[in-house]
C-alpha cells in the first residue's frame, strides 16, 4: 500500500456566524471572523489516496487525473467564491475549516477509481491552522 | 545603510469590480475575481525600511516597534475585513493588489522614526502573485 | 473525528551535554551541539488535537483558545530562553528535540477541554530535522 | 515511542515509459512525462524512524548518523543521476514516485541500528505531488 | 511605478557539458552535473514586470494574461523537456541557470504590452541556488 | 550582468545586551532578547554575487565553490556557536542581525574571484525578520 497526495489551491470568502444567535453572541464567540462584510483565505488543499501501484504504470493513480477530479468536484465549487453563499455542498452548515474538510471528503470519496481509496483531506486555512479528516 | 524587513499576515475579502462598467464587462475583464459575493485571500505583507544601525543597540529600528506600527496603521484596518467595504484608506479605489500596496505605503511612510525611511512594500496575494512598491 | 493543528514558533538556546560524561566524550558524541557557550534554534511547534466539531460553532476547538493555552503553558516557558537552564519542565533532562517534544506533550495533555484530546506534538528543530510524539 | 524525521534533497532525471507499449500508447498514458529525452526533478526525501530515546543522550538516533546512512545508501545512488539508467536498485522497474519510494524503503529498512525502526518514506516529486510508503 | 511578479513552475532535464573539452575536463569542472545520462530539476520561475496601474482596473497587467504569455513562450518550450536537446532558444548554449535566465528574458522582453516593461527574471534551480537577470 | 545567490544555514546562540547599560535598561530596551542565559536562532543566509557568466562554463561562479568560501569564512565561525562569545569578527559589537550581516559582508567581500563582486548579504533571523546589506 502506498499513499499519494495531490496539493491544490483555492481562494474564498466566508464568515463564521450562527444564525440562531444574536449579533452580540456571534461577535463574542467568533470575534473578527464574524465580520458581516466577510473575510477570506487562500486555502491549501491536500488530497491523499491509498492503494497499490499499478504494475503497468507504477502509478497508484495518475496525479493529473486526480487533479482533474479535484478541480471538477471541489475547486470549481469553491474557488473565488463565498463559502457561505455560493457552495451547494456547504448549504446549511457553518463554514468552519473542520466542516469544509468534511464537505470536501464527501465530494470526493465516491468518485475515485476502484483501485484507490480516499485516505485524508487536509485543509490549511492560514499558515498557522490546518484540519485533517480521515472519514 | 542596511535594510530591515518585517513580515506580517492578514486575511481579507474583496472583489475586483469597476462600478462604471456593466456586470458583463466586469465578468469579461475580471473573471472569477468579480464574483458579487466576494472571495478572499491570506495576504503576506513585507515592510522594508532602510537607514543606519544605532550604535547603542545595533538596531536600524526595533523590529517589535516596527511590528506595532504595522499593526496599528495597517493590520487593524485590513485584517478579517472586506477591502472594498471596510477600509477607510481604500475608499474609492479598485482593490487590486497594486493599489493595496500603494495604500499601505501611504499609511506607513510618514509614521516611521526619523532614523529610518520606508523602502518597499511587498504584498503577496497568492503563492503565485506578488506586488512591490517603492514610493 | 477531525484533527486540528495549530502552529506556533519559539526561539531558544541549548546545548547537548551529559554531565556524567567527560568533556571529551561529550564532544565525541554530540560534536558541535555540545559547545559550552550554547547554540540555538528557531523551533516550529505543531500541536494537533482530535475530537468532534461542536454543532453550534463548527469548531473542534477555537484555534485562538488553543493558541492561548500553548502560549501560557509552553511558549512563555521556552521562548527566548535557555532550554537547559531556564525551563522548569525540562530540569534534569537532556535537551534533545525528542525529550523537548515529550515535555511539551506533558504540559498540554491535561489542559485541553474535555471535548478535545491531544493527538500529536511535532517539533521542528531545523529545516531538516523534526520529531513527533503521540503520547 | 517517538518519531524522528530527517529531510534530504536530491536531483535526478527520469522518464515514465513502459517498454512493452508503443511510443503512441506511452504518450497517451504518460503525456509529457514520457519525453524520450528525459525530464527531471528536485526530490525532497523525508525519512522517518521510530523508537525510544536513549536515556544517555536523549536521542532516538543521532540525526547526523541517520543522514550519513541516507547519503551512503540512497543519495549517492540517486543524486544528479538518471533514475531509469543509473540506479541499481531501480533496474527493471518503472520510475514512478510510488516505486521510487518503495525502492528507497528497501535500501534503508535493514540498515538502521536495532534501537530504531523505519516508519515512513515520504518523497516529494514536485511542490504539488508526494508519495508516502510505510512498508 | 509598481512591480508585479508572477511565479511559475517547470521541470526539466539537463547536463553541464562543454563539447570542446574532454570527458575528464568536464568531470573535473562540472562534477556530478556533467553526468552523461542527465539529471534534472524543478525550476521556480519569477517573472517581474514594472509600470503604472491602469486607472480603470487597478492592474499593472492582468496576472492571468501574464501567466498565459509565460506559458506560451517559456513553459511550453521547457516543461518536461531536456534543456540541452529540446529547447530552440537554448541551442548552442551551455545550460547553466545563468544562461537559461537570460534565454527566458529574451523570450519575454518584446512580448509584453506597451504599458509594462520586463524588470527581472529570477530562476531557482534548487532550494539553495537562484539566478536573477535584469536585462 | 547576472546575479547568483547561494543560500546557507547556520544555528547560533546570542543575546542583545549593551554592557554600558544597567540590567534594567537592557531589559527595558531589548526585552526577552536580553535574557542572560542566551537564546538562539536558525539563521538563513543568502549570499548574492554579480558579474558576467564565463563563456566556457556558463557560470558566473561555480555555486559549489561559492558554498565552500561561505563555509570556510562564515559558517565555520558561526555555526553551533555563541555570537557574543565565540566569533572573532563580531568581538566588541552588538549581535544584532544588522551588525551580523555587515560582519558577514566583511568576511566575504575581498575573498571572491576577480570575475565576481559581492552584491548583497541577506540574513533571516526568524520567519518574520530579515536584514539586507549591500556594502
Taking only the tens place, the pLDDT of each residue in C30-82 is 999 999 999 999 999 999 999 999 999 999 999 999 999 999 999 999 999 99
Predicted confidence at residue B51, as pLDDT, reads 98
**Does position B125 have pLDDT exceeding 90, yes or no?**
yes
Q: Which of D52, D80, D85, D132 is catalytic?
A: D80
Predicted confidence band of residue E109 (pLDDT cuts 50, 70, 90): very high
CB-nearest to D80 from E39, E42, E80 is E39
DSSP string for residues in F99-132: HHHHHHHHHHTTSS-TTEEEEEEEEEEETTEEEE
Q: Is the pLDDT of residue F92 over 90?
A: no
- Chains D and F share 3 or more Cβ pairs within 8 Å: no
Q: Searching chain A, which residue's CA lies closest to the CA of residue D123? A: A4
pLDDT reported for residue B112 = 98
pLDDT number for residue E128: 98
Mean pLDDT of chain A: 97
In this prediction, residues E64-87 reach a mean pLDDT of 98
pLDDT (mean) for A61-77: 98
Least CA distance to E35: which residue of chain D? D81
Q: Is the dihedral of CA F32, F33, F37, F42 positive or negative?
A: positive
| Residue whose grid cell is 559550552 | C36
Average pLDDT over residues D114-118: 97
Is the pLDDT reported for residue E92 higher than 90? no
Report the mean per-residue pLDDT for chain D.
Answer: 97
**Residue A6 contacts residue A44 (beta carbons within 8 Å):** no
**Mean pLDDT, rounded, for D41-47:** 98
Q: Do E86 and D12 touch (CB under 8 A)?
A: no
Cβ contacts of residue D35 below 8 Å, gap of 6+? D15, E80, E81, E82, E86
Q: Cell numbers 492578514 label which residue?
A: B10
Q: Is F62 a residue whose pLDDT tops 90?
A: yes
Active site residue D80: yes
CB burial class (10 A; 0-12, 13-18, 19+) of residue A98? buried
- List the grid coordinates of B122: 511587498
Q: How confident is the model at residue A107 (pLDDT cuts 50, 70, 90)?
A: very high
Task: Test D2 with C131 for CB contact under 8 angstroms.
Answer: yes
Nearest CA among D71, D75, D93 for reference residue D11: D75
**pLDDT band at residue A92 under the 50/70/90 scheme:** confident
pLDDT for C60 equals 98
Is F2 close to E93, i.e. CB distance below 8 A? Answer: no
Bridge pairing between strands D2-14 and C129-133: antiparallel
Count of structural domains, chain E: 1
Identified catalytic residue from A72, A80, A85, A132: A80
pLDDT average, residue stretch E55-80: 97
The neighbouring-strand residues paired with A128 are none
Q: Do D127 and A7 touch (CB under 8 A)?
A: yes
Catalytic residues of C: 33, 80, 125
Mean pLDDT of all residues in D54-83: 97
E and F adjacent (3 or more CB pairs under 8 angstroms)? yes
Domain containing C84: what range? 2-133
Q: From chain B, pick out residues whose CB is under 8 angstroms from the CB of F94.
A: 57-58
Collapse the DSSP code of A80 into the 3-class scheme (helix H, G, I; strand E, B; otherwise coil) and give the result.
coil
CA neighbours closer than 13 Å in the CB half-sphere of residue D85: 15
Q: Residue C92: its pLDDT value, please? A: 87
Chain B residues in contact with F128 by the CB 8 A cut-off are 6-8, 63, 67
In E33-124, alpha helices (H): 63-70, 76-78, 97-108
Q: State whether E42 and D79 contact (CB < 8 Å).
A: no
F39, F52, F80, F132: the catalytic one is: F80
Q: Identify residues of A whose CB sits under 8 angstroms from chain C CBs.
A: 16, 18, 20, 29-31, 93-99, 101-102, 127-134
pLDDT of residue A18 exceeding 90, the answer is yes
pLDDT in tens, C99-131: 999 999 999 999 999 999 999 999 999 999 999
Is residue E122 scored above 90 in pLDDT?
Answer: yes
b/e for B62-98, b at 16 or more Cβ within 10 A?
A: bbeebbebbeebbbebbbbbbbbbbbeebeebbbbbb
Long-range contacts of E68-71 (CB under 8 A, 24+ apart): E69/E108, E69/E111, E69/E112, E70/E6, E70/E8, E70/E45, E70/E108, E71/E8
For B63-120, how does the pLDDT look when each residue is reduced to its tens digit (9 = 90+)? 999 999 999 999 999 999 999 999 999 998 889 999 999 999 999 999 999 999 999 9
- List beta partners, residue A124: A44, A130
Catalytic site residue A125? yes
Q: Are C73 and C111 contacting, i.e. CB atoms less than 8 angstroms apart?
A: yes
Q: What is the value of ipTM here, to two decimals?
A: 0.96
Instruction: Please identify which residue in the block is written with the cell numbers 514594472.
Output: E50
pLDDT at D33: 96
pLDDT of residue E16: 96
> What's the average model confidence in pLDDT over F79-83?
98
* pLDDT digits 0-9 by tens, D69-81: 999 999 999 999 9
Looking at residue F108, which CATH number applies to its domain?
3.30.479.10
Span B8-27, average pLDDT: 96
Output the CA angle B87-B88-B92, nearest 5 degrees. Answer: 90
Angle (nearest 5°) at CA E65 between E60 and E70: 110
Q: Which residues of E touch B (CB under 8 A)?
A: 1-8, 48, 53, 56-60, 62-64, 67
DSSP secondary structure letter of residue E42: E
- Taking contacts as CB-CB distances below 8 angstroms, the residues of chain A near B126 are 9, 11, 42
Cβ–Cβ below 8 Å for A38 and B13: yes
Distance from CA of A82 to the nearest CA of D (A): 25
Picking from E15, E16, E39 by the largest number of D CB atoms within 10 A of its own CB, the best residue to mutate is E39
pLDDT band for B47, please (50, 70, 90 cuts): very high
The whole-number pLDDT of residue B24 equals 96
Cα–Cα nearest to B129, from B103, B102, B98? B98
Percent of chain D residues past pLDDT 90, beyond the cut:
98
Tell me if C45 sits within 8 A of C69, measured CB to CB: no
- pTM check: above 0.80: yes
Of residues A8, A33, A41, A44, which has the active-site annotation?
Answer: A33
Query: Which of the other chains make 3 or more beta carbon contacts under 8 angstroms with chain A?
Result: B, C, D
Contact residues of F toward E, CB < 8 A: 1-8, 48, 53, 56-60, 62-64, 67
**What pLDDT is stored for residue D92 in this prediction?**
87
pLDDT value, residue F59: 97
Asked whether residue E32 carries a pLDDT value surpassing 90, the answer given is: yes
Q: What is the mean pLDDT of chain B?
A: 97
Amino acid at each position: 500500500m502506498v499513499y499519494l497526495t495531490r496539493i491544490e489551491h483555492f481562494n474564498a470568502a466566508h464568515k463564521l456566524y450562527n444564525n440562531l444567535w444574536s449579533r452580540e453572541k456571534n461577535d463574542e464567540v467568533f470575534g473578527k471572523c464574524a465580520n458581516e462584510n466577510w473575510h477570506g483565505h487562500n486555502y491549501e488543499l491536500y488530497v491523499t489516496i491509498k492503494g497499490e501501484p499499478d504494475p503497468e504504470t507504477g502509478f497508484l493513480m495518475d496525479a493529473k487525473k486526480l487533479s482533474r477530479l479535484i478541480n471538477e468536484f471541489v475547486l470549481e465549487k469553491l474557488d473565488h467564491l463565498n463559502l457561505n453563499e455560493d457552495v451547494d455542498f456547504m448549504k446549511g452548515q457553518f463554514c468552519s475549516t473542520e466542516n469544509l474538510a468534511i464537505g470536501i471528503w464527501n465530494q470526493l470519496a465516491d468518485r475515485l477509481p476502484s483501485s484507490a481509496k480516499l485516505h485524508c483531506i487536509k485543509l490549511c486555512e492560514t499558515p498557522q491552522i490546518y484540519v485533517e479528516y480521515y472519514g
